[in-house]
Amino acid sequence: MTIAMASEKELKTESNQKYVYLFNEVDQAQEKMGGSWEGVRSLLGGKGANLADMTRLGVPVPPGLTVSTEACNAYLEAGEQFPDGMWEQVLEAIKDVEKAMGKKIGDLQKPLLVSCRSGAKFSMPGMMDTVLNIGMNDAVAEEMIKRTGPKFVYDIYRRVIQMFGGVVMGVPDEVFEAVIEAQRKAAGVKSDTEMSADDWKVITEQFKQIYKTYTNEDFPQDPLEQMKRATEAVFKSWNGKRAFAYRDAAGIPHDLGTAVNIQTMVYGNISDDAGTGVAMSRNASTGEKELEGDFLMNAQGEDVVAGIRITQPISDLQKEMPNIYAQFEEIAQKLEKHYRNMQDMEFTIDRGKLWILQTRDGKRTAQAEVRIAVDQVEEGLISKEEAVRRVKPEQVDFFLHPQLDGEAVKEATQIATGLNVSPGAAVGIVAFDADTAEKWAKEEGKKVIMVRPETKPDDVHGMLAAEGILTSKGGRTSHAALVARQFGKPAVVGVSELELDLIGRKMTVGEDLEIYEGEWLSLDGTQGIVYLGQLPTVVPDFKNPYLLKLLGWADEIRELGVWANADYPRDAERAREYGAQGIGLCRTEHMFFEAERMPIVQKMIMSKHAVDRKEALDQLLPLQRGDFEGLFRAMDGLPVIIRLIDPPLHEFLPSFEELVQDLADLKVRTQHYHTLSEIDAALAEIRVKQDYLERVEALREMNPMLGTRGVRLGILIPELTKMQVRAIFEAACKCSKEGVDVHPEVMIPLISHVNELKTQQAALEAEAKAVMEEQGIEVTYKFGTMIEIPRAALTAGEIAEVAQFFSFGTNDLTQTTFGISRDDAESGFLMEYQQKGILADNPFASIDPNGVGRLMEIAVADGRSARKDLEVGICGEHGGDPKSIAICHNLNLNYVSCSPFRVPIARLAAAHAALADK
Ligand code: ADP
Ligand code: MG
Ligand code: MG
């Protein structure tokens, strides 16, 4: 792009700048752009660049020309004036096209008709729609009828009036459609194909009337005027409201401009052995290596995606026109080889000849993305690195997404089937329009299935808010299918059994089943099935062979280790299955929260005397030991970092307010008791509650997050952390004796001063040694600390003298660095900060590189210079965020630790970080 802009400036001073490139002049375009293919795409737009590229490859493309994006920019800059010489260049180039085709624009015997197609570097909604059949007029029509018959000619003529009228002049399309609809009724036919020549003739006449009514002029009869005005309209559409808004949202620069492609028409509607279609070179849902797409015989252009007629699957073409199918397959493979990616192609068959009208990299599901990447490596098309790079970390998420519960499905009522265009399960209540879907989902927190006849770009906000999408019309390449796939929304489209009544807010399925807006539906997007009601979902098994292979390659590439945060043996097992190489954080307090343990924990906290406390701790010890044994077994051979108790103690006690209320209630009730035993019991209860209340009050802090927690607790109640260390080492010794390869690492949380660590660690290491002596066995272990307070990061050199490892607790480190309480901020001013651009990212989601990142950098450097083999990782929630993973890679951390479900994502993200670094 920089090249494009540089040369643009350079060339502006030249008087004979080249604005127009024939499809067979791609070499010239590339030379101008210093050989860069990206440059050609900037100059000619994606569509134009690929049309020219296909021409160079020898793929049959109808001849044509591209007016460059530079011309567009010059036109807009000059206040909507073609730059000098541009139109003359178009006319010159058209002569070449005419010569190649043996036809001439406006010629009565051999008229050349063209399409006028917009095409920017990035495809975007809001750009001008294509106008087909430019060059048609009364005189041409009259002569053409003699050769091809009137039906085809009037079909073509009415189309150009409709498209030119709608797209260039802004005549509302509904008006044209209403005329067709009325004529269909009058003729007593159901589809456009059944319409007669006379029907189209009547329609053409009425279209001319409509055109005149809306524009106060006749439909232009001069073919070159049609072409010129269409070209201008494309240029202007670059600054259209929707295009502008889209670029803002998508971060596409506003100065790229759009190109215009003027291309010889080929006719899919000329006869019954003509047709048009769209197809992907591989299955866009599953990634299987087979052509996937739809076509229509005797149809033109957008008819396929518009959903007005039921399309045929591309496999039918193999039966109906085996030669054409074979040719298409060959071209698809050639293009795949050339672009080294799956292609999405438009084609037209004109009297037995196949033409390709467009190719681009195809949109696909995550499942297909992974499979295609792996297959293409095995086919020798791309490298492992490229395959790894191509799959986005978030796409891995799909493999961990819910599917409908198989058992429930057996019992469920299947009401309809359609095309399975985007996999996964979606369960929600029906909403019949995008605004309702968005409102219900966003404001009322409901799960919604958006149901439409078909979708348009205006519906996207509703689709995004919905769990899944269901349409009654449209094929595999319909808008609904493409959007759903792109955003990973399960979708079933083209369910013809559905009859939608948007006014009555209900839909009918088959004869008599009626479903009203707000009722539950379940979709299986993987198979294309619609079920009645609210079915349960399950998370799928993580053993897609393609994904496993791809992640294996990612593992070869990445330098960061990927560990998991897991508190329970079952989480550790899952983490390991997902590829975790260690446990980076086991939160021991979670073990305390389990219902049957709470009373013991409370007793431990409540006890005023050491003896009582010891009794409670003795009860907790075997429970904790059991938990740790499970973890060590699950992680046999791998490190397990266990963090000693972290949260403030009052979190284990009932809330202060509740206790006060309870006590008040109890006292009132006691006044009504009569028997002595009743009163005695009540008084005893009051005493217990009173004790609780006092203790809770004593432990209550104004700022518990900055209060007695982390290491401070261990210093205050040394027996507690000692018991935990004992449990860890008893478990480790026991497992080790049984042959399990244990690597316990004890982590002390929330230190800010090295002396805190020294005090705690000395006592705890002594306990560890004592246990090992008792057990008569040594295990390798580490003691280390979390770095989650800025002071700890800044004094990391001192701390590393004591600690054998660091783990960044980036949640707390972010809170304390910014001085922002995460729980309060995320729903409040942080959002505002992001909207106002004060913060680019939410620092709790992605590590703040300059502040928190800088502290980490200091800590790593100072820590490692004090202790060369210091192990450094991160265990905050950032550990599963790709952007933060890249920061961790650049800081040379040993590992990131994240929730088990994010482990596969982190493996891929770590590989991306390593690739970006090379
Ligand atoms: P979009 O970007 O919306 O897909 P296109 O420019 O690709 O718009 O054109 C819309 C439809 O018209 C496509 O189906 C395309 O194949 C068809 N089309 C465009 N130009 C021609 C042409 N010269 N001959 C036949 N069909 C064409
Ligand atoms: Mg297209
Ligand atoms: Mg913390």
pLDDT at residue 307, rounded to an integer: 67
Question: Ligand 1 pocket, 301 CB below 6 A?
Answer: yes
Q: Is residue 375 part of a domain?
A: no
How do beta strands 583-587 and 639-643 pair? parallel
Question: Ligand 1 pocket, 348 CB below 6 A?
Answer: yes
Average pLDDT over residues 343-362: 96
Span from the CA of 752 to the centroid of ligand 3 (angstroms): 12
Question: Ligand 1 pocket, 263 CB below 6 A?
Answer: yes
Average pLDDT over residues 309-322: 93
| 427 plus 562 within the same structural domain | no
Average pLDDT over residues 237-265: 89
Query: Atom 13, ligand 1: which residue's CA is nearest?
Result: 301
Check whether 303 has a pLDDT greater than 50.
yes
Which has the closest alpha carbon to 358: 55, 27, 134? 55
Span from the CA of 116 to the centroid of ligand 1 (angstroms): 9
Check whether 25 has a pLDDT greater than 90.
yes
CA 653 to chain centre: 42
Determine which of 42-51, 76-85, 299-308 has the lowest per-residue pLDDT on average.
299-308
| 460 plus 524 within the same structural domain | yes
Residue 77: which region, alpha, beta or left (left: phi > 0; alpha: psi -120 to 50)? alpha
* CB-CB contact of 442 with 466 (8 Å): no
CA distance 370 to 283: 12
Residues 6+ apart with CB under 8 A from 874: 584, 807, 808, 810, 856, 884, 888, 893, 895, 896, 897
**Ligand with minimal distance to 130 CA:** 1
Question: Ligand 1 pocket, 727 CB below 6 A?
Answer: no
pLDDT at residue 246, rounded to an integer: 82
Query: What's 293-322 look like in SS3?
Result: EEEEECCCCCHHHHCCCCCEEHHHHHHHCH
Q: Is residue 895 part of a domain?
A: yes
Query: For residue 104, what is the DSSP state?
Result: B
Check whether 308 has a pLDDT greater than 80.
no
> CA-based Rg of the chain, rounded to a whole angstrom?
35
* pLDDT tens profile 784-807: 999 999 999 999 999 999 999 999
Residues 6+ apart with CB under 8 A from 773: none
End-to-end CA distance of the chain: 23
Beta bridge partner(s), residue 360: 344
At 361, list the tokens.
């990299």
CA 58 to chain centre: 36
User: What is the CB neighbour count within 10 angstroms for residue 801?
Assistant: 13
The amino acid sitting at 865 is: S
Does the model's pTM come out above 0.85?
A: no
Structural domain of residue 459, as residue ranges? 401-538
| 579 plus 619 within the same structural domain | yes
Question: Ligand 1 pocket, 265 CB below 6 A?
Answer: yes
Span from the CA of 736 to the centroid of ligand 3 (angstroms): 30
Span from the CA of 295 to the centroid of ligand 2 (angstroms): 14
**Ligand with minimal distance to 301 CA:** 1
* pLDDT tens profile 217-228: 999 999 999 999
pLDDT at residue 15, rounded to an integer: 59
The atom of ligand 1 lying closest to the CA of 300 is 26
Burial label, 26 (beta-carbon count in 10 A; 0-12, 13-18, 19+)? buried
| 21 plus 55 within the same structural domain | yes
The residue that leads in pLDDT, 347 or 483, is: 347
Residue 313: give its domain's CATH number.
Answer: 3.30.470.20
CA distance 839 to 827: 15
| 631 plus 764 within the same structural domain | yes
| 752 plus 618 within the same structural domain | yes
Chain-wide mean pLDDT for the chain?
92
Question: Ligand 1 pocket, 358 CB below 6 A?
Answer: yes
Q: Is residue 384 part of a domain?
A: no
Span from the CA of 782 to the centroid of ligand 3 (angstroms): 19
Check whether 3 has a pLDDT greater than 80.
no
Which has the closest alpha carbon to 400: 913, 918, 909, 899? 899
pLDDT at residue 486, rounded to an integer: 65
Question: Can you list the alpha helix ranges (DSSP code H) found in 340-405?
Answer: 366-378, 384-390, 393-397
How do beta strands 805-808 and 782-787 pair? parallel
User: What is the CB neighbour count within 10 angstroms for residue 28?
Assistant: 13
Residue 65: give its domain's CATH number.
Answer: 3.30.1490.20
The total number of structural domains in the chain stands at 6
**Ligand with minimal distance to 115 CA:** 1
| 502 plus 408 within the same structural domain | yes
Catalytic residues, which ones? 479, 875
CA distance 688 to 439: 49
pLDDT at residue 541, rounded to an integer: 63
Q: In what order do the strands lie in the sheet with 343-350?
A: 312-313, 292-297, 275-280, 343-350, 353-361
Check whether 11 has a pLDDT greater than 50.
no
Average pLDDT over residues 763-789: 97
Check whether 96 has a pLDDT greater than 60.
yes
Mutate to test the pocket of ligand 1, among 101, 130, 296 (most ligand atoms within 8 A of CB): 130
* pLDDT tens profile 847-899: 999 999 999 999 999 999 999 999 999 998 899 999 999 999 999 999 999 98
Span from the CA of 265 to the centroid of ligand 1 (angstroms): 9
| 670 plus 725 within the same structural domain | no
pLDDT at residue 10, rounded to an integer: 46
Percent of the chain residues past pLDDT 90, beyond the cut:
72
Determine which of 304-313, 495-504, 821-830 has the lowest per-residue pLDDT on average.
821-830
The atom of ligand 1 lying closest to the CA of 117 is 6
Mutate to test the pocket of ligand 1, among 65, 114, 117 (most ligand atoms within 8 A of CB): 117
Question: Ligand 1 pocket, 261 CB below 6 A?
Answer: no
Q: Is residue 369 part of a domain?
A: no
| 424 plus 305 within the same structural domain | no
Q: Is residue 544 part of a domain?
A: no
Residue 457: give its domain's CATH number.
Answer: 3.50.30.10
Q: Is residue 302 part of a domain?
A: yes
Q: Is residue 835 part of a domain?
A: yes
Question: Ligand 1 pocket, 302 CB below 6 A?
Answer: yes
**Ligand with minimal distance to 789 CA:** 3
Q: Is residue 376 part of a domain?
A: no
Check whether 488 has a pLDDT greater than 80.
no
Exposed e or buried b per residue across 876-912, where buried means at least 16 C-beta atoms within 10 angstroms of its C-beta: bbbbbbbebbbbbbebebbbbbbbbbbbbbbbbbbbb
Check whether 405 has a pLDDT greater than 70.
yes
CA distance 109 to 138: 13
CA distance 129 to 233: 10
Check whether 485 has a pLDDT greater than 80.
no
Check whether 47 has a pLDDT greater than 60.
yes
| 296 plus 427 within the same structural domain | no
| 780 plus 868 within the same structural domain | yes
Span from the CA of 812 to the centroid of ligand 3 (angstroms): 5
The atom of ligand 1 lying closest to the CA of 303 is 14
CA distance 479 to 489: 13
String of DSSP letters for 220-273: P--HHHHHHHHHHHHHHHTT-HHHHHHHHHHT--TTS-EEEEEEE---TTSSTT
* pLDDT tens profile 420-479: 888 889 999 999 999 999 999 999 999 999 999 998 877 888 998 999 999 998 887 678
Residue 791: give its domain's CATH number.
Answer: 3.20.20.60
Query: How confident is residue 1, by pLDDT bands cut at 50, 70 and 90?
Result: very low
Mutate to test the pocket of ligand 1, among 132, 167, 262, 363 (most ligand atoms within 8 A of CB): 132
Question: Ligand 1 pocket, 97 CB below 6 A?
Answer: no
Considering 639, 672, 699, which residue would you say is the last residue of a domain?
699
Question: Ligand 1 pocket, 591 CB below 6 A?
Answer: no
pLDDT at residue 315, rounded to an integer: 95
Check whether 354 has a pLDDT greater than 50.
yes
The atom of ligand 1 lying closest to the CA of 118 is 6
| 354 plus 483 within the same structural domain | no
598-606 and 676-699 helices, crossing angle to 10°: 80
* pLDDT tens profile 531-578: 999 999 987 667 889 999 999 999 999 999 999 999 889 889 989 999
CA distance 180 to 197: 13
Question: Ligand 1 pocket, 130 CB below 6 A?
Answer: yes
